[in-house]
Amino acid sequence: MERVIVSDDEVRKFFLGISSEGLKRQLDGLEHGLSKYSENPSIVPRRLLQRTSDGSTLHMYMPVVDTEYSGIKMLGYNENGGSGIIGCINVTDGRSGQLVGCVEAKELTGVRTALASCIVLRHQLDKLRTDGVEITMFGSGLQAFWHIFIVGKLLRGDNNKRDLKVNIIYRQHPLQLDVLAKEIDGTVFKQVLLSDQNAVDQALLSSDIIFCCTASLNPLISLKQLQIERIGSNPVKHTYISLIGSYNSTMHECDQDLIKEFQHRDVKILVDSKEHTLIEAGELNLAKVQPNQVLEIGAFPGTGNVFCPISPHTTITLCKIVGLGIMDICVSKNMLKMLSDRAAM
């Protein structure tokens, strides 16, 4: 590549055009990066949060220091700026410190979180229904978009033509579907207001996969909702749940009963980081989940069961992600390499 700055628009274009092989390469790379973190958490030093001297803008710096993955993610947020959280990821050579590339962070953050949510899921595809898969998404923002896109591409791999249905549960604004409808052809989309409790309950009951990309002070998913008897000729037998919307100890995406069910049955809850998740995730913090009750994605499959029986015929896998800088560095570095390879052809 002649230049090393990749804009949000270029990130979006790259991943919308990614092949099945390219997606596999990204998932493999991120899984490898998270395994390096699990082996040696010190490669991700403590993040820095600090406001500017006038108090107007919050800055966050997320460093990664390793010979293979090195760099820093930098974000800024001015609540009066109208741009949301913006920033960039600087990827450097771990041995020399030389800049490899700079990637704008908004689109990339959504992509890397969606990829992280799908790492363990891709090892559980044989647990899903083979004739059709139903997905429920809480949220209608950028994170929701990329989760639906990535899981759609994963389930619609080169040799897999599963029928897909996606329920999108939104608070105020429905998700724009034109790009998703084009890229995941033949998918049935249904948009549901979060306030429509009956529709939400029905969506959860029939879902093979649930993603929660909605920040909430009150639980959006309960054990009781998931335990209702599932009927029909081909009911759901296993549900994979990934929670990524809550980001501090006061927020909760699922209720305490669901967390306690995992604790009671000695089933591991999947996390990206034991250190960060047990502090920052409200659901786990309130339940006083201990380090031996979670399993890092980077240590998967590791030791311990991740299938929690919640009824005689249904199991749940639960994953909680708060986000690590190494995710951004891994995905950015792999994208820069793939772009460089493409340019050299």
Query: What pLDDT shows up at residue 4?
Result: 84
Q: Are 229 and 262 in contact (CB under 8 A)?
A: no
CA 69 centroid distance within chain: 20
Cα separation, 344 vs 179, whole angstroms: 29
What's 29-84 look like in SS3? HHHHHHHHHHHCHHHCCCCEEEECCCCCCEEEEEEECCCCCEEEEEEEECCCCCCC
Give the three-state DSSP class for 8.
Answer: helix
Q: Look up residue 107 and give its two tokens.
A: 């689109």
Residue 301: what pLDDT? 83
Taking alpha carbons only, the member of 260, 109, 35 closest to residue 269 is: 260
Architecture of domain 125-323: 3-Layer(aba) Sandwich (3.40)
Predicted confidence (pLDDT) per residue in 3-34, tens digit:
589 999 999 999 999 999 999 999 999 999 99
Phi, psi angle pair for 20, to nearest 5°:
-60, -40
How many residues are recorded in the chain? Answer: 345
89: DSSP letter: E
Q: Which pLDDT score, from 0 to 100, does residue 1 have?
A: 46
User: Which pair of tokens denotes residue 315?
Assistant: 């199991």
CATH architecture of 4-108+326-344: 2-Layer Sandwich (3.30)
pTM over 0.85: yes
Which residue type occupies 96?
S
Q: What is the pLDDT of residue 63?
A: 97
The whole-number pLDDT of residue 33 equals: 97
**Which residue numbers in the chain have pLDDT < 50?**
1
Q: What's the pLDDT score for residue 332?
A: 98
Q: Which residue type is seen at 117? A: S
pLDDT given for residue 229 in this prediction: 74
User: In the chain, where are the structural domains located?
Assistant: 4-108+326-344, 125-323
| Beta bridge partners of residue 63, listed in sequence order | 72
**What's the confidence (pLDDT) of residue 233?**
60
Query: How large is the C-alpha radius of gyration of the chain?
Result: 20
Per-residue confidence (pLDDT) for residue 158, from 0 to 100: 55
